[in-house]
Amino acid sequence: MPARTALLMAILVTAALCFAVAVGDGAWMTNVPARDHEKTNPFKDQQDAISAGRRVYVEHCSHCHGENAEGTKKRPALMTDRIEHQATEGDLHWLLVNGSMKRGMPTWSKLGDPQIWQVISYLKSLH
């Protein structure tokens, strides 16, 4: 019985670790509906939008993700290949609107679409 319990525990811990790695590795992107995935940023590559997005980022996001999106002890960096290349602008828009509440990321729908797109312009400019 103890051996079986230990095996079960090992399986559960391994499964939990795999899940955590998968989520941390951008598994949220698999939840994005196709319609949202395809959305495009109306402010794409506009310098004003990048500057405004930087201001919104500093106001609302920097205390968790760092002043320059480098991440903090508890929250991930956003200057990553996943954010800059793998995720589409539509994916990021979906994430900001819906959040990832189980993992501590709140919804930011209160900012409204224009400011959300401005933040995305800023994040995509971080090369």
**3-state DSSP assignment of residue 71:** coil
Site string for another protein, 22-51 (x = CB under 8 A): --------------------------xx-x
Considering only residues 52 to 81 of the shown chain, the ones binding another protein according to CB under 8 A are: 52-53, 55-56, 59-60, 63-64, 73
Closest separation in Å from C-beta 37 to another protein = 16
Closest separation in Å from C-beta 29 to another protein = 15
Q: Are 93 and 107 in contact (CB under 8 A)?
A: no
Q: Which of 79, 98, 125, 126 binds another protein (CB under 8 A)?
A: 98
CA distances from 33 to 10, 17, 83, 116 (A): 34, 26, 17, 18
Return the structure tokens found at 5: 């319990």
Q: Where are the alpha helices (DSSP H) in 34-112?
A: 34-37, 47-60, 62-65, 81, 89-98
Give the whole-angstrom CA distance, residue 50 versus residue 107: 21
Give the whole-angstrom CA distance, residue 47 versus residue 95: 23
Closest separation in Å from C-beta 86 to another protein = 21
Q: Which of 118, 120, 123, 124 binds another protein (CB under 8 A)?
A: 118
Q: Which residues form the interface with another protein (CB under 8 A)? A: 48-49, 51-53, 55-56, 59-60, 63-64, 73, 97-99, 101-102, 104-107, 109-115, 118
